[in-house]
Copies of this chain bind each other. A is one copy, B any other.
Amino acid sequence: MSKRIITISREFGAGGHTVGKKVAEELGILFYDQEIIDHAVAETGFSPDFVREAGEYASTTHSFLFNLLLSHSVTAVPGGELSNYDKIYIAQTKTIQDLAEKSPCVIVGRCADYILRERDDVLSVFLHASDEYRQQRILEQYGEIEGKTIGERLEEKDKKRMLYYKHYTDRDWGDVKNYHLTINTAVIPLDMAVRWIVDAVR
């Protein structure tokens, strides 16, 4: 089965956004990153800022129960409603499923690899790199932030993504078996990563 959707999961600073954007350009297909959030926002009515924050926040609902509810389109549980975070995840899930159905595309982050795991037209990629490489890249791309060292920002972001992924998917973030291709971008240049992904899809 040939691949028409590419999901890119990535450690903070490993170049996932850059690689995903270039792959989409090369293949002439759509690219989703921040856009996914906007779609989810439009459906749920939450403020964009809150949705962005929720995107890396793991709620307290147990993931097994949560996914069971999700698969039955349930949005209220005995004793109360689902949390706003969970509602946003549900909206995100539906958005990503719709986007994948609609046309070939690249989707970066937001558990897209998990959400689309049952489709066989998806190429699932994970990008990671050493702390040193990512710290340097983050400084170049985003500059310094007052009151936080670059090491703290890296650790905080990684931890949030890992917990978010674990919570909603019950899988380990960066587990080799969940990806068709993983690349250490501190060793493999970004343009080579782009070339390989394009190669795999064409």
Among A27-35, A84-92, A106-114, A171-179, the one that faces the other chain is: A171-179
**A146-197 with Cβ < 8 A to chain B:** 174-177, 179-184, 187-188, 192, 195-196
A128 lies within 8 A of B176 (CB): yes
Q: Is the CB of B174 within 8 A of A184?
A: no
29 pairs across A/B with beta carbons < 8 Å? A3-B187, A123-B187, A126-B176, A128-B176, A128-B177, A174-B175, A174-B176, A174-B177, A175-B176, A176-B176, A176-B179, A176-B182, A179-B182, A179-B184, A180-B183, A180-B187, A180-B188, A181-B181, A181-B182, A181-B183, A181-B184, A181-B188, A182-B182, A187-B200, A192-B199, A192-B200, A195-B199, A196-B196, A196-B199
Residues of B within 8 A of A181 (CB): 181-184, 188
Max chain B CB contacts within 10 Å: which of A175, A176, A181, A183?
A176
**Chain B proximity of A120: nearest CB distance (Å):** 9
Q: Is the interface of A mostly helix, strand, loop or mixed?
A: mixed
In the bound complex, residues from chain B placing their C-beta under 8 Å from that of A177 are 128, 174
Q: How many copies does the complex hold?
A: 2
Chain B residues near A175 (CB, 8 Å)? 174, 176
Q: How large is the interface on A (under 10, 10 to 19, 20 to 34, 35 or more residues)?
A: 20 to 34
* Partner among B123, B184, B195, B199 whose Cβ is within 8 Å of the Cβ of A180: B184
In Å, the complex CA distance between A80 and B187 comes to 44
Tell me the chain A residues, 104-143 only, with Cβ under 8 Å from chain B: 123, 126, 128
Interface centre among A3, A174, A187 (most CB of B within 10 A): A187
Beta-carbon contacts of A1-13 to B below 8 Å, as 1s and 0s?
0010000000000
Q: How far is the CB of A201 from chain B (nearest CB, A)?
A: 11
Q: How far is the CA of A38 from the CA of B188 in the complex (A)?
A: 33
B180–A200 touching, CB < 8 Å: no
Closest B-chain residue to A3, C-beta based? B187
Q: How far is the CB of A13 from chain B (nearest CB, A)?
A: 14
